[in-house]
Structure 1
Amino acid sequence: MNEAEKREFLSQLVDNVQIYEERKENGQWLKSIEFKLPIIEKEFTLSLDNDAQNETVCLL
């Protein structure tokens, strides 16, 4: 994939990305990522702002 194809692919998957104005002390700079996933009926947001995250591992 060239750079233009990569950008187009990501724009189809990612709806919104929020970043902090300044990097946190722990090095974190991403606040949250919202995805456009048609297979999920409700809004899916991955928040990196807290420790209350659920992880799921799937074998495809």
Structure 2
Amino acid sequence: MTAGEKAKAKTEQAEGKAKEAVGSAIGNDRMAAEGQAEKSTGDARGAKEKAKDAFGH
């Protein structure tokens, strides 16, 4: 996994988690949903990079 992609995935996961928590805390469903989507994007990016590492690409 390239360091840049790994960092981007972790950043997306952290930002999404924070946004989701804030949205839930203040009762903003849209913000919570956006946070969940960002977190999922980060999770998918991380999984893609792990798969690339596993197959040596």
On whether the aligned pair clears a TM of 0.5, the verdict is: no
Name whichever structure is richer in strand by fraction.
Answer: 1
* Higher RCO (C-alpha under 8 Å, 6+ residues apart): 2
TM-score relative to the length of structure 1 = 0.27
Name whichever structure is richer in helix by fraction.
Answer: 2
